[in-house]
Amino acid sequence: MKNIIFDFEYLAPKTLEEALTLLSQYDEDERKVIAGGQSLLIIMRQKLITPKYLIDIKGLTDLDYIKFDKKEGLKIGALTIHRAVEKSPVIQKEFSVLSEMEQNLSNVETRNWGTIGGDIAHSDPCGDPIPVLIALNARLKMTGLNGERIVDAEDFAVDFYETVLQHDELLTEIQVPILPPNTGVKFTKYNQIEGDLALASVAMSITLDENKKTCSDVRIGLGGVAPAPMRAKKAEDILKGKKITDALLVEAGQAASEEASPTTDIQASEEYRRELVKVLVKRVGSEALARAEKA
């Protein structure tokens, strides 16, 4: 009963600097960072990882915030719990797609303890936040002892559970720019049981020109259909500069489904996932378009 989880040395830094110092002190293979632990504790129980040192950063309350500024946009501290993102009035008003994404992210018990930064840094290819952040043109701030750097959300995850985070860096902030005028954003994930990870997910942001006729910009984020969440640039190119019709969305869905690189696993086959991308791009695209027309 007692050894559900293998023993480790527990370290609970009080400040970000203390946490970064600890990170730099231990070998990457020996230590692991825990925030809410909603994903990490599962793989620790499965003994897939057995860190010698566990660095608990959940107590770093300085990284728990949601700030909004009409020029700078939205800033979310990495240790903000999912539930706070879901329920934030300013997010519901200015970036409703983020709140909608959170409503179906796992279940309320997970959202009450798990953090958005922990979710992103864990970098499950089927996770929900990154595809939405790709569509929103978000950036991620990482902090190390030598300073900060910022990457586009689409460049953060590089492979299954692999990110560009360096050995001594922590993800500290999610930055979402103000949406351009006439923009609609929508996210949908397909799963068999509510709250599960996505078999495939699509987030789309469509910006229309001032006459609301043609698509001046579009961003498409895909989840669950590649080793890491990805941007479907070929599909975007099909829509950009054109009047979006159902037929064009079908074409974009086809392109997205071809540029995705899903794998077959116990949940779904590669073909099935490609088909999902095709269907979802069309569905999410028309909903994002409708929102852009109303924006």
Partner 1 sequence: MKKQLKFVVNGNPYDIWIEPRLLLVQVLRDELGLKGTHRACDEGCCCVCTVNIDGKAVKSCSVLAMQANGKEVTTIEGMKNGAELHPIQQAFVDNWAFQCGFCTSGQIMASNALLKENPTPTREEVQHAMDGHLCRCTGYNMINEAIRDAAGRLQAQKAQEKTK
Nearest CB to partner 1, comparing residues 55 and 218: 55
Are 129 and 119 within 8 A, CB to CB? yes
Closest CA to 213 of 292, 98, 129: 292
Beta strands in 24-169 (DSSP E): 31-34, 53-56, 66-69, 73-77, 139-144, 147-152, 157-159, 162-163
Q: Binding string to partner 1 for residues 38 to 57, with x set by CB under 8 A, is what?
A: x--xx--xx-------x-x-
Per the structure block, which two tokens stand in for 33?
């960072």
Those residues whose C-beta lies under 8 Å from the C-beta of residue 24, and which sit 6 or more positions away, are: 145, 167, 168
Q: Which of 17, 109, 148, 246 binds partner 1 (CB under 8 A)?
A: 109
Q: How many residues sit in the footprint of partner 1 (CB under 8 A)?
A: 32
Nearest CB to partner 1, comparing residues 53 and 161: 53
Q: Does 194 help bind partner 1 (rule: CB under 8 A)?
A: yes
Q: Which of 17, 21, 47, 108 binds partner 1 (CB under 8 A)?
A: 108
Nearest CB to partner 1, comparing residues 4 and 266: 4
Nearest-angstrom CA–CA distance, 242 and 261: 27
Q: Does 112 help bind partner 1 (rule: CB under 8 A)?
A: yes
Are 167 and 24 within 8 A, CB to CB? yes
Q: Does 4 help bind partner 1 (rule: CB under 8 A)?
A: yes
Q: Which positions touch partner 1 (CB under 8 A)?
A: 1-10, 12, 34, 37-38, 41-42, 45-46, 54, 56, 58, 83, 103, 106-110, 112-113, 194-195
